[in-house]
Structure 1
Amino acid sequence: MIEARGLTKRYGGKVAVDDLSFTVRPGVVTGFLGPNGAGKSTTMRMILGLDRPTRGTVLVDGRHYRDLASPARHVGALLESRAIHTGRSARDHLLALAHTHGIPRRRVEEVIDLVGLREVARKRAGGFSLGMGQRLGIASALLGDPGTLVLDEPVNGLDPEGVRWIRDLLRGLAAEGRTILLSSHLMSEMAMTATDLIVVGRGRLIQETTVEEFTRGASGNRVHVRSPQAAELAELAAREGATVTYSAALAGMGSTAAASGLEAARGSEADAIEVAGLPSERIGELARTYGIALYELTPRLASLEEAFMDITRDAVEFTTAAPATSEGTR
């Protein structure tokens, strides 16, 4: 278990982490999310004793990292996959780590097989691709067979097979009761891997929740509806205060239903709408009352990416400018 309480880190006048408290519990994969500059890497470094908190504390299994007698056997970490001696082979790199931490040689061979580096184990790590470097970094993290893993962007550079492999590996390790903290910008992959979430922005905690609760909270009571009388149902829902969006197939629209939009819908053969702000039960009642046939009535959860973008909108430190229009560049 990882426990952070009031964790704060200042660099001069800049606050990188601000009074951050959270718990990473064993038995599940916990995703660590936040925009660039949110303080994720600094937090991970403080967990591992690489940075000293200005204030607050962070414990691994009830102890500071610096107090662990054999850290590699308690915590495995991947913060920078390229933190290797480029002139050494993958096996020699792992052997050096094993010797330092009193880990038997047989464990080196086990992790080489586990991460799929057997065929390149004797090659110099400096010539590795980004994906192979990631696998070596993961092997280093797993070397001590630790109960806790702290991984920063572990799927970076991996091919689809490798991404699926690391997903299954982390789920399997969590099922064994291990504590896993995983940071990644790949929201689709995080949604399939993590159970719990810690979301931060500008160094502060935004939410500590589960993936399911996080996406449900951002869904805004949205319902996907298909009906041969979609335009009529959309008008009824709009009268009830709902926001209705037509699918791209419906006259190429994607805007909130208005009078002109409803007129366009009536002349279209498309049958799909999305209703926000009205529960599916009420939509079904409207359909029954007005004799409207329903093909589909499905509550729609926001994707993890949609939920993340929505909740961190005000916490983004680095934003990109909107692309200039042709008129704006003249």
Structure 2
Amino acid sequence: MIEVQGLTKRYGRKVAVEDLSFTVQPGVVTGFLGPNGAGKSTTMRMILGLDRPTSGIALVDGRPYRELRAPARHVGALLEARSIHSGRNARNHLLALAATHGVSTRRVDEVIDLVGLREVAGKRAGGFSLGMGQRLGIASALLADPSTLILDEPVNGLDPEGIRWIRDLLRGLAAEGRAILISSHLMSEMALTATHLVVIGRGRLIQETTVEQFVRAASSSRVHVRSPQAAEFAELLAQAGATVSFSPATAGNPATRAVSSIPPQLTISDSIEVAGLPVERIGDLARAHGITLYELSPRLASLEDAFMDITRDAVEFATATPSTRGGNR
């Protein structure tokens, strides 16, 4: 179990983490989400005693990491898969770790098989691919059979089979009663792996909730509308304060465009998506202005949609919108 209480970390005038509190419960895979620069890695480092907090405290099984008598048996971590001696083979790397924690050779062989490295266990780790390095890092985290796992981007570099494997592994470990904190930028994978979420931005807690509740809250503000008068209706909705985008069926792709770019002529099958107005208000507007509707339905948001919505104002490194005009490059 992990308990973060009022955690703050400052680097001079820069506040990396500010008054952050959350709990990672046993038996649950908790997704740790946030934009780049949100403070996720700094928080993980403070939990593991690698960075000293300016204020606040982080506890693993009720104690600060530095006070754990056998820390590897309480928490296994993967923060950087490449933090290995490149001249050692995979098995010797794990044997060296095992010797410092009183772990048996038999356990080393067990985790090698568990992560699928049996065929390359005798090869130098410096020649491993990114995916193989990730598997070795996960083996290191699991070596002492800890009750808690902290994994930073564990699916990075894994192929589809490897991604499914780590997903099933984490679910299985949680079912055994372990507390698991996992960060990832792959929202689709997080939606399939985690059941609980901790979302931060600019070092502060934005939301701590379940995946289901997080997605449901985002879905309630999105409505799919189909109408032969889609362009006209989009303008009316925008005037009422809604955010409108559309995806012409004739285009054959799901890319949305802003309401200002709607062409004067739309086919009868064109549809729009509306955010910021409840479905009842949208229906009332259509009736009041004589708009024919073919479809009016709440849209189930993806985890990625929900994440983008809730962290929109917490993005530190925003990407500029590509220009469609020519000019200097």
The question of a shared fold, defined as TM-score above 0.5 by the shorter chain, is answered with yes
Whether the 8 Å contact between 2:148 and 2:180 is mirrored in structure 1 is yes
Aligned: 1:126 with 2:126: yes
- Aligned counterparts of 1:310 and 1:236: Cα–Cα separation in 2: 22
Aligned: 1:153 with 2:156: no
Aligned: 1:300 with 2:299: yes
Whether the 8 Å contact between 1:72 and 1:146 is mirrored in structure 2 is yes
In the superposition, the TM-score normalised over structure 1's length comes to 0.86
In the superposition, the TM-score normalised over structure 2's length comes to 0.86
Whether the 8 Å contact between 1:287 and 1:293 is mirrored in structure 2 is yes
Cα deviations by residue, 1:165-207 (Å, 9 ceiling, x for unpaired): 1111111111111100001111111121111111112211111
Whether the 8 Å contact between 1:6 and 1:20 is mirrored in structure 2 is yes
Mapping of residues 32-71 of structure 1, within 5 Å = 32-71=32-71
User: What residue in structure 2 maps to residue 73 of structure 1?
Assistant: 73
Cα deviations by residue, 1:35-54 (Å, 9 ceiling, x for unpaired): 22211111101111111111
- Aligned counterparts of 1:278 and 1:99: Cα–Cα separation in 2: 61
Query: How far 1:304 sits from its partner (Å)?
Result: 1.9
Whether the 8 Å contact between 1:237 and 1:275 is mirrored in structure 2 is no
- Aligned counterparts of 1:147 and 1:31: Cα–Cα separation in 2: 17
- Aligned counterparts of 1:327 and 1:73: Cα–Cα separation in 2: 59
Aligned: 1:311 with 2:314: no
Q: From the superposition, tell whether residues 84 and 249 of structure 1 become closer, same or farther in structure 2 (CA, over 3 Å).
A: same
Q: From the superposition, tell whether residues 26 and 202 of structure 1 become closer, same or farther in structure 2 (CA, over 3 Å).
A: same
3-state SS, counterpart of residue 320 of structure 1: coil
User: What residue in structure 1 maps to residue 198 of structure 2?
Assistant: 198
Mark the runs of 5 or more structure 1 residues left unpaired by the alignment.
none
> 4+ residue stretches of structure 1 with deviation over 6 A?
281-293
User: What residue in structure 1 maps to residue 269 of structure 2?
Assistant: 270
Whether the 8 Å contact between 1:8 and 1:16 is mirrored in structure 2 is yes
Q: Which amino acid aligns with 2:328?
A: T
- Aligned counterparts of 1:284 and 1:320: Cα–Cα separation in 2: 35
Q: From the superposition, tell whether residues 282 and 42 of structure 1 become closer, same or farther in structure 2 (CA, over 3 Å).
A: closer
Report how many residues are paired.
324
Cα deviations by residue, 1:66-114 (Å, 9 ceiling, x for unpaired): 1212111110000111111111111111111111101111111111111
Mark the runs of 5 or more structure 2 residues left unpaired by the alignment.
none
Q: Which amino acid aligns with 1:200?
A: I
Q: From the superposition, tell whether residues 202 and 278 of structure 1 become closer, same or farther in structure 2 (CA, over 3 Å).
A: closer
Whether the 8 Å contact between 1:230 and 1:273 is mirrored in structure 2 is no
- Aligned counterparts of 1:284 and 1:318: Cα–Cα separation in 2: 38
- Aligned counterparts of 1:185 and 1:211: Cα–Cα separation in 2: 15
Whether the 8 Å contact between 2:75 and 2:146 is mirrored in structure 1 is yes
- Aligned counterparts of 1:243 and 1:77: Cα–Cα separation in 2: 42
